């Protein structure tokens, strides 16, 4: 058929078909964006109800006090009443196991501590994995650990203490319990200094501090809530702070690192986690608001009063630090031969 005899409707038919295809493609492209749009909208709308914070330790302790300092401020930011749910037991494992099974919707968060970086090395059959079953939000607070001594100990600094220990003086240090943060700080000190301070475990910081005050033990690696009042009263003397930087609480006290053990660093901490698979946009929102709370002057002062220093940061920074803490304390547990009670 000659070209002139082609149906005049063909060009418009092709154009119509092309428009239908483009329209379908556009609809498909738009539909592919819907999940991301829904997630972003969910993060903008979140929270629409109270957020529950599982604290795996009893009320009144350092981690609980830290949690209550920032949950109050977050309640103001979110305009929602936050709930602190204390689920103590088994060195923080009871609360962690519960939190790991909660819905990953941002409405249940978990306040972990240094115990959760140590427990994997001590308890290989735990029902949860702190890296696999949780998403990091941010570190919350750092509790400086001070090396303190009974006044009768003839050493006024870290170097003199190490020399005294190497002379065979038979020094002992108390801790809040076997495998706890203050115990591990002492074992790490032994490793770096090449000495062997005898460990005396107690059931909590208070009885350990009481025996230090009475001279039944000579030393203690004590967190700030346990040590500060006794340092300031002169009932015990402080030889150094275990963190890498000097503490704002006692800025005149040198670090153990600057006192002859440059690689030494130990501190207790609290951090905020969410159940794994919490939507990334919701995690980002929680991290941003959480850091805003931690930078609030009233929150920072409340933490300092409780013996803690605000420690805000990114999710990635928390992930990297947690991984480093897990490796570090696993090595200390292995070298020192520490076993769970």
* Per-residue tens of pLDDT for the chain, all 341 residues: 433 333 333 444 434 454 454 454 444 444 444 454 454 555 678 999 999 999 999 999 889 999 999 999 999 999 999 999 999 999 999 999 999 999 999 999 999 999 999 999 999 889 999 999 999 999 999 999 999 999 999 999 999 999 999 998 889 999 999 998 999 999 999 999 999 999 999 998 999 999 999 999 999 999 998 999 999 999 999 999 999 999 999 999 999 999 999 999 999 999 999 999 999 999 999 999 999 999 999 999 999 998 999 999 999 999 999 999 999 999 999 999 998 87
Question: Closest Cα partner for 201 from 298, 338, 75, 295?
Answer: 338
Look at domain 51-143+267-336 and name its CATH class: alpha beta
pTM: 0.85
Residue ranges per domain, the chain? 51-143+267-336, 144-259
What pLDDT score does 35 carry? 52
Structure-block tokens of residue 246: 């000097």
What pLDDT score does 41 carry? 53
What pLDDT score does 340 carry? 82
Q: Do domains 51-143+267-336 and 144-259 have the same CATH topology?
A: yes
d(C-alpha 50, C-alpha 83), whole Å: 7
Q: What is the DSSP string of 242-306?
A: -SSS--SSSTTSPBSGGGT-TT---EEEEEEEEETT--HHHHHHHHHHHHHHHT-HHHHHHHHHT
Which run of H or E residues covers position 237?
strand 237-241
What pLDDT score does 13 carry? 45
Question: Closest Cα partner for 285 from 35, 32, 48?
Answer: 48
What pLDDT score does 45 carry? 87
What pLDDT score does 124 carry? 82
- Under CATH, which architecture does the 144-259 domain have? 3-Layer(aba) Sandwich (3.40)
Question: Closest Cα partner for 222 from 155, 285, 274, 144?
Answer: 144
What pLDDT score does 191 carry? 97
Instruction: Say if CB 45 and CB 286 are below 8 A apart.
Output: no
């Amino acid at each position: 058929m000659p070209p002139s005899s082609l149906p005049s409707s063909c060009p418009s038919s092709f154009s119509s078909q092309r428009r239908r295809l483009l329209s379908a493609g556009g609809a498909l492209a738009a539909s592919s964006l819907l999940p991301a749009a829904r997630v972003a909208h969910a993060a903008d709308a979140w929270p629409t109800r109270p957020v529950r914070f599982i604290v795996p330790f009893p009320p009144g302790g350092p981690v609980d006090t830290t949690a209550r300092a920032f949950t109050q401020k977050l309640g103001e930011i979110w305009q929602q009443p936050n709930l602190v749910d204390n689920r103590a037991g088994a060195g923080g494992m009871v609360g962690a196991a519960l939190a790991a099974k909660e819905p990953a919707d941002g409405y249940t968060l978990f306040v972990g501590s240094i115990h959760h970086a140590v427990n994997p090395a001590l308890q290989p059959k735990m029902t949860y994995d702190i890296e696999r079953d949780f998403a990091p939000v941010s570190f919350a607070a750092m509790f400086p650990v001070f090396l303190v001594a009974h006044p009768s100990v003839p050493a006024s600094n870290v170097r003199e203490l190490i020399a005294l220990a190497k002379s065979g003086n038979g020094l002992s240090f108390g801790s809040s319990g076997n495998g706890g943060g203050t115990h591990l700080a002492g074992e790490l000190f032994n490793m770096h200094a090449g000495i062997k301070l005898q460990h005396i475990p107690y059931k909590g910081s208070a009885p350990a501090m009481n025996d230090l005050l009475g001279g039944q033990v000579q030393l203690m690696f004590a967190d700030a809530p346990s040590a500060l009042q006794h340092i300031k009263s002169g009932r015990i003397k402080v030889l150094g702070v275990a963190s890498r930087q000097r503490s704002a609480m006692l800025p005149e006290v040198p670090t153990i690192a600057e006192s002859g053990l440059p690689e030494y660093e130990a501190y207790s901490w609290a951090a905020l986690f969410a159940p794994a698979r919490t939507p990334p946009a919701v995690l980002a929102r929680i991290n941003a608001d959480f850091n805003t709370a931690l930078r609030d002057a009233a929150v920072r002062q409340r933490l300092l009063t409780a013996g803690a220093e605000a420690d805000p940061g990114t999710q990635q920074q928390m992930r990297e630090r947690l991984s480093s803490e897990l490796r570090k304390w696993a090595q200390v547990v292995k070298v020192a031969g520490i076993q769970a009670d």
